[in-house]
Each structure stands twice: as C-alpha cells, then as structure tokens.
Structure 1
Amino acid sequence: MRRRGDERGPALLDALLEGRPEPDLAARAASGLGLPERGRYAVAVLGPCAGGPPGVAAEAEGLRFFRRRLADREVVLVALGDRDPATLAALLTRWYPGPGGIGPVADGLEGLGAARRLAELALLTCPPGTTDIVRLEERLPAALLVSQPELSARLVADVFGPLLALAPADRALLVGTLDAWLECGGSAGRAAGRLFCHRNTVLNRLRRLERLTSRSLSRPRELIEMTLALDAFRMTAPQP
C-alpha cells in the first residue's frame, strides 16, 4: 500500500501542475503528497539541468521541494509556509544553472496549474544565453510581450525596423547604450561609466537612436514604446 501511495503521489502532482479538471484532485493530492490543501505554494520552471535536491521530494532551508519533469522542463513545487517568496530565486540559483522563472504565490493546491503557466511565462522573459532565475512580478511588462508573440514581433519591426538594417555591431552598440541608459535611470553620466565612454558619446548615440526610430526618449509614451520594443528585441535576438 505504501508503494502504491508513493507511485500515486507524483501522478497527482503532475495532474495539479498541468491544471487537469479532475474531481477532488486537490484533496486527493493533499492526502497522497502529505501537503495541506490550503497553503502558500510557489512553482518554478527551469530548462533541462542537473543538480538540485536529490529525488522527487526534499527539504532544504526550511522549505519542502517537489521536482517533476514535464516535457523538456524541470518543474519545482515549493511549499513556502510563511517564508518570503523573494528568497526563493536566490535559493534556486545555488542549485540550478538557469535560466528559470517563478510564478506568483498560489493560495492552495488548486492554483498550481495557473502558477506553473505563469512561471513558464517568466522563464520566457529571460533573453537567450542568460542564466537568471526571475520572478514573474519582476518581469510583468516583458511577460505581456511574450504572451503575445505576434504583437511583440510587430512592435520590434515598427519601432526598431531601421536598426535591424544596420550592421550587427552597430546595432548592438545602439541597443546596448539604450539598455544601459534605462538601467541607470536615464542618467547619461552613469551610463557612460558603465559603458566606459564619455557622457557626450552616450548622448550622441541616443540622439542617433531617436533619429532612426523617429521617436523621442523625452516623450513618455514614445519612451514606453522604445522600452517595450527593447525588451521584445532582447528576448528574441540571436546570440552573437
């Protein structure tokens, strides 16, 4: 009977993570997995990778972890208890090479399917070649973009179309300057320090970018367009 229960637990967990509409699924899974039906849970989705707590279930740092492989993804369910979900990304980074995405906290086992889908969206916001493990709450604008790939592609073509015609090195220079300027809160001086160039060089590159895109970084709506287009471009641009 114990062996049968051990085999049933992972199957019930898979059903929860896939969001199957089965009767009394949450109650049966709670019994089979030894988890409270109502509680605070987080789901992380990672690409194929090694490491992490051994086995399907484990405890570490006061948290309970359950690992499953769905398709080509590693899915980690975490029973948070009263712990802050902000600490989870740092903890997973110690075990997994990334990239990975963490969905919002689910209030009970019934919410695991939605939490897993949103964790996959968070994973998709990680640009190619990066190894970050990110929370959806940190990437909401980018998550909107990846959830609408056709609109995202049109946004990149409409805003960055002239940049796409440039030589790759020239395009990377302008895009990297815009990225640094945004990361530095719109400070050309701080961006110059990050890029190891003069402040005027940053300003000249930004003016050129404005001319190419026919948009002004000083107009809020156009700045939003540029920022969203940058996110969409970085998530889809091939690695050099």
Structure 2
Amino acid sequence: MRQRGDERGWALLDALLEDETGHDLAALAGTVLGLPERGRYAVAVVPVRGSAWNRPAEAHGMRFLWRSRPDREIAVVALGEAGPAAVAALLSDGDPGPGGVSPVVDGLSALGAARKLADAALLTCGPGGGGVVGLDGRVAAALIAGQPALAAYLATDVFGPLLARDPADRSLLVSTLDAWLECGGSAGRTAARLCCHRNTVLNRLRRLEALTSRSLSRPRELVELMLALEAVRLEPSTWPRTEPEGG
C-alpha cells in the first residue's frame, strides 16, 4: 500500500510526525504502512535543496519513508539493527547538504518526539553548515541553537570584555579555549595541536579567565564559557565584532 501511495497511510504518518495522539493511531498507521508498531525508529530531517538528489528507500537493512514539507524532507527510518550514525552516513554520502537525525526511539508513537530531536540536531549545523549529524555530542549546541536570544546574550555577556581587544588577539584566545576543550582540558595536547609551547597555552587561558571573569576550574563558570563558545560557533553574529576604540 505504501508503493501505491495510500493517502490514508501517509496521513496517519504525518499525524504521528506532528506528535498527534489518538486511539490506536500508531497501531493503525503500522498496519496500513506495513510497519511494526513497536520497534527501533529514527527520524531524519534534510532541508530542501535546489538540485535533486536520490532519496534512499532501503539500504543496509533500513527502510526509509519520506514526507515532503515546503522547506524540508522528513524521513521516518525503520532502523532494523542499524543506528542513527548509519542514517547520517548514508544521507551524507547522498550529498543532501546539512541535515539532522534523531536518536533511536521505541515505536511509531514516539515519531513526533523524534522529529523534534532531528530538528534540534539540524540546528547545530549552523549557517552554511554541511553534513548530516545526530545529537550525540551536540546536545549543548542544540540547546543554544534553539534559543537565539539567549545565545546572543550569553555570547556577549561572557566574551563581551574581549571586544576591547585586537580582533586577532581575541580570536586567538577564543580559538585556544576551543582547542583546550577539544583536547579534554590537556594543555600539553592543546599545545601540540596549536604548534606552540604548553606554557603559551596556559598563559592564553589565564588571560581569557581574567578578561571574562570566569575560571576554567569552576564547573558552573566553565559551563558558561562552553555554552558561549557554542553560541559564537553556531552564529558568529551573536558576538558583535566591533573594532577596538582608536581603530
């Protein structure tokens, strides 16, 4: 019935994706579409592109059911034994541009929640971002991306004091923080990544702490620094890039 484009089945699937509830809605959709009511599912969201691309129907034990929206394509994926990473890799190979994939959800009744999580993953790609991504390791970025006003406030509140610095200097300090976080807080690994001495990394981080009035050794303040960094990474305009006084 899926192949014949059964409108009833697609309408039921759309209702589930919009998080609608009703008596036996998931069971009815599963029957009409030939899907198990309980099982491992994920949802993928890909923005509509100007050029056509091949949407997969079945691959690696996964089954894709696609729905079109004015601004995006949505896939309900019956995962089988696969996981969200396999969905992201397959869609990235198809070169659809940026996209988001939800974590695994249990059953058709959870498709609405999965669609929202896929939307959140998509937001973490940022402007001009590419590749299809899941939420694994991106939850903080998703929280920031979903609150643009809060992101702008946090970026300015945390990094605002750096605006008085030379643009190259403030970029150096923020990029050192980024590398230090990526290296798990190891000054030695950060130095190797940035091709500088370990003491140089420590000096930059101390300057950053002094300018932001936040300590990397205090968990709450470290969280603020991390979230502010995500805000700047996702939307650079959240951090005003004014020149220092005097040019």
Map 1:1-240 to 2 at 5 A. 6-49=6-49, 50-53=52-55, 58-166=57-165, 168-238=167-237
CA distance in 1 between partners of 2:128 and 2:200 (Å): 28
CA distance in 1 between partners of 2:160 and 2:114 (Å): 35
The residue type paired with residue 55 of structure 2 is P
Residue deviations 1:196-230 (CA, integer Å, cap 9, x gap): 33333333322221121011222222212211111
| Identical positions, percent | 65
Q: CA deviation at 1:125?
A: 1.9
SS of 1:41's partner is strand
**Farther-moved stretch of structure 1 (60-69 vs 84-93):** 84-93
**Farther-moved stretch of structure 1 (166-175 vs 32-41):** 166-175
Q: CA deviation at 1:19?
A: 1.8
SS of 2:6's partner is helix
**CA separation of 1:233 and 1:22: change in aligned 2, threshold 3 A:** same
Show structure 1 runs of 5+ residues with no match: none
Does the 8 A contact of 1:52 with 1:96 survive in 2? no
Show structure 2 runs of 5+ residues with no match: 242-247
CA distance in 1 between partners of 2:122 and 2:183 (Å): 24
The residue type paired with residue 90 of structure 2 is L
Q: CA deviation at 1:77?
A: 1.3
**Farther-moved stretch of structure 1 (36-45 vs 195-204):** 195-204
Q: CA deviation at 1:23?
A: 4.4
**CA separation of 1:145 and 1:13: change in aligned 2, threshold 3 A:** same
TM-score normalised by length of structure 1 = 0.85
Q: CA deviation at 1:164?
A: 4.2
Does the 8 A contact of 1:128 with 1:237 survive in 2? no
**Farther-moved stretch of structure 1 (161-170 vs 204-213):** 161-170
Does the 8 A contact of 1:46 with 1:75 survive in 2? yes
Q: CA deviation at 1:187?
A: 2.0
Residue deviations 1:137-194 (CA, integer Å, cap 9, x gap): 3222222323443333322222111234545444332221111111011222322332
CA distance in 2 between partners of 1:42 and 1:176 (Å): 34
Q: CA deviation at 1:2?
A: 8.7
CA distance in 1 between partners of 2:165 and 2:115 (Å): 39
Pairwise CA RMSD of aligned residues?
A: 2.7
Residue deviations 1:37-87 (CA, integer Å, cap 9, x gap): 121110011222442435xxx111111011222231221211012333343
Q: How many residues are treated as equivalent by the alignment?
A: 237
CA distance in 2 between partners of 1:52 and 1:238 (Å): 34
TM-score normalised by length of structure 2 = 0.83
The residue type paired with residue 51 of structure 1 is W
CA distance in 1 between partners of 2:116 and 2:166 (Å): 37
**CA separation of 1:95 and 1:159: change in aligned 2, threshold 3 A:** same
**Farther-moved stretch of structure 1 (187-196 vs 60-69):** 187-196
CA distance in 2 between partners of 1:63 and 1:224 (Å): 38
